[in-house]
Amino acid sequence: MNSVTENMTCTFCGCLCDDITVEVADGRVVKAKKACANGAGIFKEYDPSPAPPLVDGKETGYDEAIAKAAEILNQAKSPMIYGLSSMAVEAQKKAVALADKLGAVIDTTSSVCHGPTGMGMMEVGEATCTLGEIRNRADLLVFWGCNPAASHLRHFARFSMTPKAGLNPNGRKDRTIYTVDVRPTPTAQKSDHFIQVAIGHDYEALTTLRALIAGKKITQKEIAGQPLEVWQELAERMKSCRYGVAFMGMGITMSRGRQHNVSELFSLVTELNKYTRFSVLPMRGHGNVAGADQVMTWQCGYPFAVSFAKGIPQFCPGEFTAVDMLSNKHADAAVILASDPAAHFPVAAAEYLSEIPTITLDCEVSLTAKVSKVYFPTACYGVDAPGTCYRMDNVPIRLRAAMEARRPTDEKVLTSLIEAVKSC
């Protein structure tokens, strides 16, 4: 049976483009109009065919797989839950409930990307905005440590660089674009100005900009690999713009300084609001990683790396983050939710994950699924299951389904696990 569904949402990245037209033929998505090359794969590569759970690599019934997973978790003394960022909010809430009931550690993919962003925000706050405000008002864009030309392919056209909207009727001509990065990138090529900062010197550059904005005198002639005049020009442009936005990426969060880089950038943006209107927006990656932060924060008080072992949520990056839990061999069982740490974690963490009993929920057969004791093939949110996701600017977007799900959702599997396991 063929069908066409309009206004579908692509969950590949944090843009959550919600203008996709999906065509279904013979139970598979055959076209995803307006989707970028990355997003099209979400729709067209997904096989929604019914698939049974696996225990030790062998097909089994749903109830039997739930019973085995519950047995593993009931026997574990230090279980860990990880992932969440490619799931809908409805399932993320269940993941937190499961961690609470088990007394488990729960961590999200933020811990290996924008975790320092959350920590920086906790220190100094965040002057932010929506993508709609940026599209309609911003005349100065600064891309710092990010490359949306490769990672968020429709970001420029829909939200930032080229839309003809609001106070920018001429589109690209009405905007000035800066890129600050350690090397030239496709985003830098599309910008008006490229500032190549020395590797590991983002903090130095940001503190310099704060000092210049505050009117401080700087005598050093070269800072972070660039002449002082370059930073003076950027500072003046920031102060004099109508509406400026700093987009920040993992070039800041995963380099030397980490959350301190973020704190400096957020503080800079706050101070710029004494002179003009300025905002900052992290370039979030996975489709609902912002939603994972939202759910974790409203349920636990913290965005990631939370332990319920003592009956209350405790936050400790470096101890309760998944990489550290596995590298230090502190977890004795794991529930992996819509992510693939076996393929992406450091070797020591990935190897230990394959040694402990692991339960994986994923719509694709990932490397982690292949090494798991129990694997539940689940429906794909935004393709054959509805749900809610948060865009990178923390605006909730409702997902539609283009077809009826023939697999259980993550929410259903987690609900069954919550009912099956014992309280800690």
- Helix, strand or coil for residue 404? coil
pLDDT score for 423? 87
DSSP state of 153: T
DSSP state of 381: B
Radius of gyration of the chain (CA): 23
Q: Could you give the angle at the alpha carbon of 120 between the alpha carbons of 212 and 160, nearest 5°?
A: 70
- Helix, strand or coil for residue 141? strand
Residues 6 or more apart whose Cβ sits within 8 Å of residue 298 = none
pLDDT score for 424? 74
Instruction: State the Cα–Cα distance between residues 347 and 265, nearest whole angstrom.
Output: 32
Which domains occur in the chain, in start order? 51-112+287-379+407-420 (3.40.50.740), 115-282 (3.40.228.10)
- Helix, strand or coil for residue 190? coil
| Strand extents, DSSP E, 18-78 | 20-25, 28-33, 54-55, 58-59
Question: Which residue positions in the chain have pLDDT lower than 50?
Answer: none
Instruction: State the Cα–Cα distance between residues 117 and 249, nearest whole angstrom.
Output: 9
Beta-ladder partners of 307: 105, 314
Instruction: State the Cα–Cα distance between residues 139 and 237, nearest whole angstrom.
Output: 11
Instruction: State the Cα–Cα distance between residues 295 and 316, nearest whole angstrom.
Output: 18
Nearest 5°: phi and psi at 121? Answer: -65, -40
Nearest 5°: phi and psi at 353? Answer: -60, -35
Distances (CA, A) of 257 to 61, 126, 185, 198, 222: 49, 18, 22, 13, 20
Nearest 5°: phi and psi at 313? Answer: -70, 125
| Element housing 198 (H / E) | none
- Token look-up 């409702």 returns 398
Render 303-366 in DSSP notation, one character per residue.
Answer: SS-EE-TTSS-EE-TTTSSHHHHHHTT--SEEEEES--HHHHS-HHHHHHHHHS-EEEEESS--
Instruction: State the Cα–Cα distance between residues 288 and 373, nearest whole angstrom.
Output: 26
pLDDT score for 81? 98
pLDDT score for 370? 97
